[in-house]
Each structure stands twice: as structure tokens, then as C-alpha cells.
Amino acid sequence: MTNADLEKIVDTSDDWIVQRTGIRQRHIAAEGETTSMLATKAAKAAMDNAGVGPADIDLIILATATPDYTFPATATQVQAALGIHQGVAFDLQAVCSGFVFGVSTADKFLTTGSAKRALVIGAETFSRILDWNDRTTCVLFGDGAGAIVLEAQEGEGTTADRGVLTSHLRSDGRHREKLYVDGGPSSTQTVGHLRMSGREVFRHAVGMVTDVMRDAFEATGLTAKDLDWFVPHQANMRIIDASAEKLGIPPQTIIKTVDRHGNTSAASIPLALAAACADGKIKRGDLVMIEAMGGGFTWGSAIIRW
Ligand code: ACO
């Protein structure tokens, strides 16, 4: 769905959307196409790429705010669709920060020996919770899914090791009113629609994500100059640029795909990672920082040696 398509639905313009957000198009799931279907496709692609099969995965974390059903967890549907019958699968709800929270959680399972090989998926069908009459929100979001495989291996305990080197998560529920969905099983017995004070979110976003990025640098002794790639949550070009500039991250290392898929919440970072790998940018051994901020508020960062 292009910005021109949106001009036919609400009073907006390609100019306004591009100037304020950098978004040029987003993808909308087909009728009947659910979050678990998108997640399963992404998971299969990640497993093929990693050279692992259904018998190899013993942890599935699916980050989503748009599950197929209230229960069972969408992750268990993906587990079944992939033919995985062992281990554990569960959903993780941290909205736009979901993928970073998922990577961090999987890393804890792997480093404590509770799992050997994890599938972390970010998958969303935000088109189903948008108010298509509200131009302040419906132009920003899209549907999509992305996934990675993480495997436990012995390392040296240095930043030369491959895998998740550090991760930092935070939340502060006092910010609920700035970004939320106005429905749910226990409150309204409806699914509800996304509501957002865009300006308020913007005001907090840069400070919060740069805080947790600093945490990651302090924990590892690494600096912005050490990063090969910076892969931020793809919400908005202006938030991405302002965060990178604040920490002195070189512009040529920033992966930006928000123009192609809009804000896909938990799916945005793995979509950006997939695009950067396909383009031949991110390669084995590269140092990659991911970060996100979303409803709650929740926010987090991680540094990964690819
Ligand atoms: N098309 C045309 N005009 C619009 C649209 C639209 N789609 N939406 C709002 N406007 C109008 C408003 O009505 C307002 O008009 P007015 O001045 O006559 O009242 C004018 O544009 C300016 O509106 P603002 O809301 O002040 O615009 P702002 O410059 O703040 O940009 C935006 C809005 C893009 C939402 C910005 O606040 C933003 O990027 N916020 C961050 C939100 C975000 O990315 N959220 C994602 C979820 S959280 C996360 O992932 C980090």
C-alpha cells in the first residue's frame, strides 16, 4: 500500500508522510492471512538460512502485539506449522520493542543452558488494529514478519565472540496513555484500535533509546565507532537519524528500511536485518546494534556479533 493509495482513504499526502516519517509504502496482509502465517514463513526462511531443521529448535519466542487469537499463544501455532514437537514456544508482548526483548530473553535461555537453539520471531498484522479513519496513525504502520536463529556455543567471554554480547531492557508503565490499544479481552471484550499521541512519543523516543544504547556501550566497552551496523526499530526516519546523531553513529552504518515497510512493530528489526543480509551488508563477524522503543513504554538495546 503506497502513500498514494492512502490519499484515497484519508486526508493526507505523500509529501506529508515522507517528510515527517520517511515512509513511502507498507504491506498489508491478505484477507485471512494471519500473524502466525507470516511468522511461519519468516521462521522457515531463517531456519533454511541457518541450515537447521524442526528437530534442532527447542525454543520459539514470538514477539507480537497482534496475535491470531487471545489464546493459545501464536507461537504454539507456529511451532505446530513448522513441525516442531519439542521444547517450548511462547509469545512475548512488548509491542515495538518485542524483538529486542525476544532476543534478550532467548539469550538468557541459551546462556543458562535452558535451551540450545532458539527461533526469535517478530510478526505483526497491525493493519487489523488500525483505525483507518484516523490519519494520524493509519499512515504509519504496516504488516510483516522476520526471524533469526540463535544457537548456544562456547565462547571466550570477549566481544570477539559471536552472538548476543549484551542486552538492556526497560519499561515504564506510567506512559500508557501516549500509545495504547483501546480494547482487550478483560476490559472491553473487543480487539480495539491503536491510539497514539505522536508528538509525545517522539518527545520521549530519542532520549529513551539512546539511554539503553549507552548502557550497551558501557557494559561492553565498545563505542559507536566499533559498530559495523546500527539496525534501529524502523518507526520513523527522524527518530532514527536523531538517535544516531546523538551518539555519533556514522550515517553509512545505519540500516533504514522504514521507507519500504513502515512501522511493523516487533517485525521491523528482523525485516531490516533480513534486508541488510540480502543486500550483502551484514556479514558473519560484523558487530550489529539493535534498539527499539514502543508502547508501555518499553525500550531496549542489544549488541550482536553476527
Ligand atoms: N497527513 C496530513 N496531515 C496530518 C497527518 C497525515 N497523515 N497526520 C497529522 N496531520 C496533521 C495534524 O492534524 C496537524 O495539523 P494541524 O497543525 O492543523 O493541527 C499537523 O499535521 C501536525 O501534526 P503533529 O502531530 O504535530 O505532527 P508531527 O510533526 O508531530 O508528526 C508524527 C506526526 C509523524 C506522528 C510524529 O509525531 C512522530 O513521528 N511521532 C512518533 C510516533 C511514532 O513513530 N510512533 C510509532 C510507535 S512508537 C515507536 O515505534 C517508537
Query: Band of the pLDDT at 306, cuts 50, 70, 90?
Result: very high
Query: Band of the pLDDT at 288, cuts 50, 70, 90?
Result: very high
Query: Band of the pLDDT at 56, cuts 50, 70, 90?
Result: very high
- Atom 35 in ligand 1: which residue has the minimum CA distance? 198
Q: Which letter does DSSP use for residue 300 in this model? A: E
pLDDT value for 279: 96
Q: Of 151, 186, 216, which residue sits at a domain end? A: 151
CB 220 less than 6 A from any atom of ligand 1: no
Q: How many domains, the chain?
A: 2
pLDDT value for 215: 98
At 276, list the grid cell: 541488510
For 248, counting Cβ atoms within 10 Å of its Cβ (0-12 exposed, 13-18 middle, 19+ buried), the class is exposed
Ligand 1 binding pocket mutation candidate from 11, 99, 199, 261 (most atoms within 8 A of CB): 199
- Atom 10 in ligand 1: which residue has the minimum CA distance? 136
119-157 in b/e burial notation, b at 16+ Cβ within 10 A?
bbbbbbbbbebbeeeebebbbbbbbbbbbbbbebeeeee
CB 294 less than 6 A from any atom of ligand 1: yes
Nearest to 298 by CA among 186, 185, 169, 107: 169
Same domain, 181 and 270: yes
Same domain, 117 and 147: yes
Same domain, 126 and 211: no
Same domain, 226 and 295: yes
Mean pLDDT of 257-278: 98
Same domain, 144 and 241: no
CB 138 less than 6 A from any atom of ligand 1: no
pLDDT value for 256: 98
Assign 3-class secondary structure to 106-154.
HHHHHHCCCCCEEEEEEEEEHHHHCCCCCHHHHCCECEEEEEEEEECCC
pLDDT value for 181: 98
Residue 269 within a domain: yes
Query: Band of the pLDDT at 11, cuts 50, 70, 90?
Result: very high
Distance (Å, whole) CA 282 – CA 255: 10
Residue 156 within a domain: no
- Report CA(184)–ligand 1 centroid distance (Å): 25
The CATH number of residue 11's host domain is: 3.40.47.10
Q: Of 99, 122, 151, which residue sits at a domain end? A: 151
- Report CA(290)–ligand 1 centroid distance (Å): 25
Same domain, 15 and 143: yes
Same domain, 17 and 53: yes
Domain that holds residue 79: 3-151
Q: How far is CA 150 from the centre of its chain?
A: 16
> Cα torsion at 135, 122, 108, 300 (round to 10°)?
-20
From the alpha carbon of 233, which atom of ligand 1 is closest?
50
Same domain, 296 and 201: yes
Mean pLDDT of 35-55: 98
- Report CA(175)–ligand 1 centroid distance (Å): 18
Residue 96 within a domain: yes
pLDDT value for 114: 98
Query: Cα separations (Å) of 38 from 30, 56, 97?
Result: 10, 21, 18
Per-residue model confidence as pLDDT tens digits over 188-222 = 999 999 999 999 999 999 999 999 999 999 999 99
Per-residue model confidence as pLDDT tens digits over 143-187 = 999 999 999 999 999 999 999 999 999 999 999 999 999 999 999
Residue 158 within a domain: no
CB 78 less than 6 A from any atom of ligand 1: no
Per-residue model confidence as pLDDT tens digits over 89-125 = 999 999 999 999 999 999 999 999 999 999 999 999 9
CB 293 less than 6 A from any atom of ligand 1: yes
Same domain, 145 and 16: yes
- Single-letter amino acid, residue 175: H
> What is the percentage of the chain residues whose pLDDT exceeds 90?
100
- CA triple 36-140-241, angle to 5 deg: 110
Per-residue model confidence as pLDDT tens digits over 228-239 = 999 999 999 999
Per-residue model confidence as pLDDT tens digits over 238-263 = 999 999 999 999 999 999 999 999 99
Nearest to 95 by CA among 175, 161, 153: 175
Residue 157 within a domain: no
pLDDT value for 152: 98
pLDDT value for 57: 98
- Report CA(136)–ligand 1 centroid distance (Å): 6
- CA triple 29-142-23, angle to 5 deg: 140
Q: Of 128, 151, 174, which residue sits at a domain end? A: 151
At 9, list the grid cell: 482513504
Same domain, 15 and 114: yes
Report the catalytic residues: 96, 233, 263
Same domain, 64 and 175: no
- Single-letter amino acid, residue 47: M
From the alpha carbon of 293, which atom of ligand 1 is closest?
51
| Full-model pTM | 0.97
Residue 241 within a domain: yes
Residue 111 within a domain: yes
- Report CA(139)–ligand 1 centroid distance (Å): 10
Instruction: Evaluate whether 85 touches 148 at the Cβ level (below 8 Å).
Output: no
Same domain, 135 and 217: no
